[in-house]
Amino acid sequence: MMLPSEIPPGVQMVTLPGGIRTLAYIQPTTPPAPPVPAAQPIPAWAKTTALLAPTVGGGIAAAGIGLSYAAPGLIAMTQALWSAVALIAAGTIAAPLVLRAARSSTNSGQSTTHITQNITASGMFGRANGTINHR
């Protein structure tokens, strides 16, 4: 009988089907190769996202380029709009002053006509009667 330390490498103690124990050369067993993963189909949402991403990015880039070209025109338009606002404000303030000055210059030597109207009615649904006085 051999001690386990005396057994050379590649030799093992085996038990035969008849019950006899003996030494035998053993082929080294290699572990089985890991299974190759089967190819999974690509989900539809992933395809859609992959196709949509460059389109959205291209649209954003085109918008940025368009705004960079339009910036001088937009600045000019804002200045024109502020000028229009100033013109409207000046017209709103100046128009009554000009009309008052024109009216006072045409009526400087004439007397103005005053009309007085008196209306009376009796009851809620009564007929109204009135008189007009020119002075």
pLDDT by residue (tens digit) across 64-110? 999 999 999 989 999 999 999 999 999 999 988 888 888 776 666 56
Q: How far apart are CA 97 and CA 105, in angstroms?
A: 12
Is residue 130 within 8 A of residue 118, CB to CB? The reply is yes
Task: Report percent pLDDT > 90 for the chain.
Answer: 26
62 or 133: which leads in pLDDT? 62
Band (60; pLDDT cuts 50, 70, 90): very high
Q: Is the pLDDT of residue 112 over 90?
A: no
Q: Please report the DSSP string for 4-30 in residue order.
A: GGGSPTTEEEEE-TTS-EEEEE-PPPP
